[in-house]
Structure 1
Amino acid sequence: MSSLFEDQAPRPLADSLRPTCLEEVIGQDHLLAEEGPIGRMVYNGGRLTSMVLWGPPGCGKTTVARLLADKTDLYFEPLSAIFSGVADLKKVFKEAKARREGGQGTLLFIDEIHRFNRAQQDGFLPYVEDGTVILVGATTENPSFELNAALMSRCRVMVLNRLSDEALEGLLQRAEAEKKRSLSMDIEARSSLRAMADGDGRYLLNMVEAVYELPAETMLDMAGLSQVVQKRMPIYDKSQEGHYNLISALHKSLRGSDTDAALYWFSRMLDGGEDPKYIARRMLRFAVEDIGLADPNAMTQALQAWETYERLGSPEGELALAQALIYLGTAPKSNAAYTAYKQARAAAKKTGSLMPPKHILNAPTKMMKEIGYGKGYQYDHDAEGGFSGQDYFPDGLSRMEFYQPKDKGFERELSKRQAYWNKMRKEKS
């Protein structure tokens, strides 16, 4: 029950501006509009189903869950997976059962649902299955990695967007209406304020409160703004999905020869606190996998950049990595060696323990010579043209061609050599 003086207590701006209906939620129209998946449930008389709200911090997950309960006349039961355990869940389910017998459903909102372990997640299943609760979980982590398959099969995943620049501007205008005065800053500072929020509406409003604490006549430029508020650290977890998403973006940008995009993702990872040596390792892998023999020097460049970073350290060493990144992005690309390696590995597993042909086996003993080891071997350096044309595959196994050089970079020359050896082999066979 609210106290008599509760309305007089100071409230954070983010709380006082919290939407009171789904129509006021900013930036999630793809879900909440009448034609959106959630909108169809609540506006067209559809039944609300259990769901997982997946999105970055400050995009409105908790607000959406609370408003869904209001819109569908469900009792709103919030829990945090960080502070709740099995006992709390048992109590909630018991109360939800009693409430259901009285004719009211329960929307159980679990914040940070990915924090529950697998056994705890299994505990939801019977109550979700029989409709005792409508489960709405909120998470910043990829549900397909963090949640049980059984629970995922009973919940729809709704992906909330980080707030766009336009949505953040809408929040600023709401804050100005609430405070009944404009933010005292120039256009560049206002744009910088939105950029500092990095898509997080709650963080934006917290920064706005700091600005409103200044005298009304204060006019901030970008330099002044940076002294009043601190830039939000980028959303990046080095051990979770953000880590894999950004390194994937970097790798694929290099593969697509988009050097500028690669530099952007490289910088994003550094800003997020990624270990530059991890990036250097992935760059070396890229040089081998995606450039290969189209430019053999790419591997040398990547390795030297890694060694240079280890000698110089930060921040000077990052320039060596950026230079190598540019080299990799602009180099000719070929996965011919990578493809050949995979095909050869597959063939080796398939053919098992076939012996090499006897003519290429050494014969250090008399018995081995008598049974044919080394018989008929032709020393290529003594052959005409330095090439004997002999077959080195196992007996009974037809020749296989794994390496198919691309017509790019240095591999153009290798393609000519390969064609020459194949022609000579056919002539001598």
Structure 2
Amino acid sequence: MSHDLFSDADDPATDARGGTLSWAGPGQQPLAVRLRPRTLDEIVGQDHLLTPGSPLRRLAAGEPGSVFLWGPPGVGKTTVAAVVSRSTNRRFVEISAVTAGVKDVRAELDLAKRELARGNPTVLFVDEVHRFSKAQQDVLLPAVENRLVTLIAATTENPSFSVISPLLSRSLLLTLRPLTDEGIGVLLDRALGDNRGLRTPTGGTYTLTTEARAALLQMAGGDARRALTYLEEAAAGATARGDTGQTARESATIDLAALEQAVDRAAVRYDRGGDQHYDVISAFIKSIRGSDVQAALHYLARMLEAGEDPRFVARRLIISASEDIGMAQSSVLQTCVAAAQAVQLIGMPEARITLAHATVACAMAPKSNAAYLGIAAALADVRAGKGGPVPPHLRDAHYRGAAALGHGKGYVYAHDAPHSVARQQYLPDDLVDAEYYTPTRNGAEAAMADRLEVLDDLLGKRPDRRS
């Protein structure tokens, strides 16, 4: 359990019990701490939560209430809680669900009740709230219901599955989004230009090369804390290499080499909006289609390491399962749909495992594009103007007057026919001999080919259908 007001670096801070906290001097604090927003207007990337009259604005204005902040790491959940506390000078108490027990929670709530009686309301921030057991969450319920505290709970997992319903129903659920490259760029500019940001040992400023900036945006993956930590380490590396110059105000340069050395990994050359994006995803899909599971996993790793949106990868896997695998192993589509849902629920970095699961399933599966070719051929006929009127016996016969028009006359109900297959014309007259789906002999589709031969015979179609 920890207590932290996240005050300005040059201001004294007090813990939840009024004692003065001791901490490193301003120059020794991590960059991500020094640059923490002090007001809601300084928060980057969450504009959808900061509109006039929004719940966060009202909380910051002193209105009572409790919220759950759901989002991936490094998007500002702790920062939001601290800013809300600061805005009205309320006590700020932080509890980590990883280390706190029921006894700790009760102690903080008892103290908050006494402080409230003295006119000092408390903002209780519970980090990783999904790690609390049901019993621990139950302890919070009376305090939230009676507004003894303003509860701000942060989680990286969907609260609908990890938080008890009574607690969630008494709170607002706010979803924080991963920061875009533009948002991360704003933070990098602050770090390089703000007085609280980076300075060389001689007081000079740092300059980030274009190549290093692009690589840093990719490495960050929408995580502000990660971006600032990497930038700070790269600056320290540039300083250690002696790149800071000799004069007191000379600018130092952080290049790609300094960044790669600092984070101990190579920058992935991958432009999410350019040729590399399309080239890598193309290689990924073609490796799956070619059944090279090793290559497929390689390209998956390149995309994820470069910060590609895992939801995009999941969508491509669903398409591949339908286009390239199809009926040869139709269960792979179910695997990919489940993977896409799991990506939404758990996010990165754990989602990499689910995506790998689906990728291996796709690459290892027998392949068939027969369903893809079938719908393509059917669409081509429709676009060419083929397809006459629906045969009269197949038309809707449920409305008054339909019988007089001959609708439904002669229709044979399939379940009344042998094997539940009724021999009658289904296609329009001009397409009566059309063949769209031609199954392969790959995987489970071999059984479909055998089945199609039986159906063609029962329907009285040509017995020489190729398979």
Q: Which residue of 1 aligns with 2:211?
A: 188
User: Structure 1: which 5+ runs fail to align?
Assistant: 235-249, 274-281, 303-317, 336-388, 394-398, 425-429
Aligned length: 314
2:264 is the counterpart of 1:230 = yes
Q: Which residue of 2 aligns with 1:110?
A: 126
* 2:98–2:128 Cα contact (<8 Å) kept: yes
2:36 counterpart of 1:18 = yes
After TM superposition, give the deviation of residue 121 of structure 1 in Å.
Answer: 0.9
Alignment of 1:155-234 (within 5 A): 155-177=171-193, 178-179=197-198, 181-213=204-236, 214=238, 215-217=243-245, 219=253, 221-231=255-265
Moved more, 205-214 or 58-67: 205-214
Distance 2:328 2:151 in 1: 56
Q: Is the 8 A contact 2:65 2:147 kept in 1?
A: no
Contact in 1 for aligned 2:220/2:227 (Cα 8 Å): yes
* Alignment partners' CA distance in 2, 1:231 and 1:390: 67
| Structure-2 change in CA distance of 1:409 and 1:229 (3 Å) | same
Distance between the aligned counterparts of 1:320 and 1:410, measured in 2? 26
Structure ranking higher in helix proportion: 1
The runs of 5 or more residues in structure 2 that have no matched partner are 1-18, 246-251, 269-280, 306-313, 334-357, 376-415, 428-433, 440-447, 462-467
Matched AA of 1:157: L
CA distance in 2, matches of 1:266, 1:142: 30
Superposed, 1:202-281 pairs within 5 Å as 202-213=225-236, 214=238, 215-217=243-245, 219=253, 221-231=255-265, 267-268=299-300
Within 2, Cα distance between the matches of 1:155 and 1:290?
Answer: 41
- Aligned-partner Cα distance in 2 for 1:286–1:120: 39
Q: CA deviation at 1:120?
A: 1.2
Q: How does 1:387-398 map to 2 (within 5 A)?
A: 391=418
Q: Quick check: 2:296–2:363 contact (8 Å CA) kept in 1? A: no
Aligned to 1:67: 83
Distance 1:408 1:423, change over 3 A: closer
1:332 aligned onto 2:350: no
One-letter amino acid matched to 2:372: P
Aligned-residue identity in percent? 30
User: CA offset at residue 321 of structure 1?
Assistant: 7.3
Report the equivalent of 2:147: 131
Conservation of the 8 A alpha-carbon contact between 2:216 and 2:227: yes
Q: 1:71 to 1:190 in 2, by over 3 A?
A: same
Work out the CA distance in 1 between the residues paired with 2:255 and 2:366: 35
Per-residue Cα deviation, 1:51-72 (whole angstroms, up to 9, x for no partner): 1111111111111101112224
Work out whether 1:418 is the aligned partner of 2:434.
no
Secondary structure class of the residue paired with 2:264: coil
Instruction: Check the 8 A contact 2:51/2:57 in 1, yes or no.
Output: yes
Partner of 2:437: 409
Residues 295 and 331, structure 1, Cα contact 8 Å, conserved in 2 = yes
Secondary structure of the 1:57 match is coil
- The answer on whether the counterparts of 2:96 and 2:128 sit within 8 Å (CA) in structure 1 is yes
CA distance in 1, matches of 2:226, 2:244: 22
Deviations 1:241-297 (A, max 9, x none): xxxxxxxxx9xx99xxx99xxx99994478769xxxxxxxx9xx98999579x9655
- Distance apart, 1:422 and its partner CA: 4.2
Q: TM-score, normalised by structure 2?
A: 0.55
Equivalent in 155, 158, 161 of residue 145 of structure 1: 161
Deviations 1:144-196 (A, max 9, x none): 12111221111211111111111111111111123355544421211111211
Of residues 407-416 and 70-79 in structure 1, the stretch that sits farther from structure 2 once superposed is 407-416
1:77 corresponding residue in structure 2: 93
How many Å separate the matches in 1 of 2:260 and 2:419? Answer: 69
Normalising by structure 1, what TM-score? 0.59
SS at 2:372's partner residue? coil
- Is the CA contact 1:129–1:154 (under 8 Å) kept in the aligned structure 2? yes
Distance 1:23 1:192 in 2: 28
User: Contact (CA 8 Å) 1:49, 1:134: kept in 2 or not?
Assistant: yes
Paired letter, 1:332: Y
- Contact 1:81–1:110 under 8 Å retained in 2: yes
AA aligned to 1:20 is R
Shift of 1:139: 0.9
- Letter of the 1:107 counterpart: V
CA 1:222–1:296 in 2, change beyond 3 Å: closer, same or farther?
same
- Amino acid paired to 2:35: L
Query: In the TM superposition, what is the alpha-carbon distance from 1:326 to its structure 2 partner?
Result: 11
Letter in 2 for 1:79: I
SS at match of 2:232: helix
